[in-house]
Amino acid sequence: MRHKFPSIKVTAFMALYRLLWLIFMPLVLSYLKRRARREPMYADHLGERFGFGAQRSGDWVWIHAVSLGEFRSAIPLIDALLARGERVVITHFTPAGRGASMDHYSDQIASGKLAVCWIPFDYGLAFRRFFRRFSIRYGLVMEVEFWPGMIMSARAANIPLFLCNGQYPNKSYQRDKHRMLSARDIVPGFAGVMVKSNRMAEPFRELGLDKIAVTGEMRFEQPINQSHIDAAVRVRSHLSERPVLTFASAVKDEDALFIAAIQALKARMPDALIVYVPRKPEHFDRAAELIQAAGLSVARRSVVLNATFELELPLTCDVLLGDSLGEMHFYLALADQVVVGGGFAPQGSHNIIEPLSQGKPTLVGPNTWTIDFPAVEAIEAGVVRQVSSDELADALLDLSEYASADAFMSVMGGSVEKTLDSVSDFMER
């Protein structure tokens, strides 16, 4: 049942919330100053945090992407909006997000088609100034950003604000049920929500929202570096019929398990090539030492391949160590099967979207709470297998239990078009 929004409870809270922003503003500014010691951009364009800035002409579509991950998710959507002739303003909270968007869209910024700025502090006056700078037709908030001031300010200004590529993580939702005031009370203030799956829609339905669309996951539409794919094809041509298995984003707590599984695999498939890609650069040397100590020959990507991925030495080793950053598409494209790291350690699994986007059969460990979506859906669809530590060795390069990724990708793909169609539909209702 849809309840009246805002409730008396929310109205009373917002009065207190605005007061707290005034009281604690010196602490907020102190926090930014401390962060600026390590990341100077935190201190740049401080006026934007209060909503100040040059007036912009024309109508704008506003996209809020709090940091780098959300910005990357939004790229296909931003590109589609620009292709339609829209002016787009992107807001961020972190330098990582702002820096990436300014680099990626430097030409569009120069031409005046796109603007990048800090998200205003979460109180009404700052947002009113921001809304005066840009004539906002509607706003799209990426992923999980339930800021009361932002939502209420948009409503007060009659600006439709939509949650995009959205989710309300189950852990948070269940926790919030027991709180007197939580995101549950604020979320109904969105003009509509576009969520990743039917399962992700349930919390919003329970909260009484009547504008909900299942639009899939935008990260499946992030561009894949084609030069990396082409390079992988060239390298595979030098491997004869060797099967290839990639361990992606392995964390140090998994080294012993993964190396033991590799040894078991090599005992039955001596010609298999293992691509081992540690999560962090500081893990490269240690991983190489452990692999060698296990009696496996190892070659580093930085030694056997040049900058354009041409082989400098024959790839006759047991293990190719991926000691580089930003080349995961290459390492994944090499593989017949991918093991995604993190899930065999307490910290939880890393991203499975990149291997699935390439249609790779993918293995994950027991701890997938960090990627609840799309892990649940992918496991149910049979394109990802979840195994225990004891089952891992037997599952390596056993491709017999995987379903084709085509049906799964047809559901998850097309998110940008579905999102823009949903926005149009919501605004017409």
Q: Catalytic amino acids? A: 70
Is the omega angle on the peptide bond into residue 6 within 30 degrees of 0, that is, cis? yes
How far is CA 333 from its chain centroid? 20
Take residue 357 and report the two structure tokens written for it: 């986007």
Take residue 288 and report the two structure tokens written for it: 């190489």
Q: Are residues 242 and 271 in contact, defined by beta-carbon separation less than 8 angstroms?
A: yes
The Cβ of residue 326 has, within 10 Å, a number of other Cβ atoms equal to 8
Burial tier of 378 (Cβ tally within 10 Å: 0-12, 13-18, 19+): buried
DSSP state for residue 74 in the 8-state scheme: H
Angle formed at CA 72 by CA 224 and CA 37, multiple of 5 degrees? 130
Take residue 10 and report the two structure tokens written for it: 């929310």
State the amino acid at position 167 in one-letter form: Q
Q: Are residues 73 and 143 in contact, defined by beta-carbon separation less than 8 angstroms?
A: yes
Cα distances from 352 to residues 48, 63, 270, in angstroms, run 36, 25, 27
* 247 strand-pairing partners: 276, 339
Distance CA 49, CA 118 (A): 6
Q: Give 185's contacts (C-beta < 8 A, 6+ positions apart).
A: 7, 9, 10, 13
Q: Are residues 296 and 192 in contact, defined by beta-carbon separation less than 8 angstroms?
A: no
Q: Which sign does the torsion angle of CA 238, 241, 242, 244 carry?
A: positive
Q: Give 428's contacts (C-beta < 8 A, 6+ positions apart).
A: none
Distance CA 268, CA 270 (A): 6
Instruction: Give every strand in the sheet of 192-195, ordered side by side.
Output: 114-118, 88-92, 59-64, 135-142, 161-166, 192-195, 212-214
Task: Count Cα neighbours of 87 within 13 Å in the Cβ-side half-sphere.
Answer: 16
Could you identify the residue written with the tokens 């500081």?
282
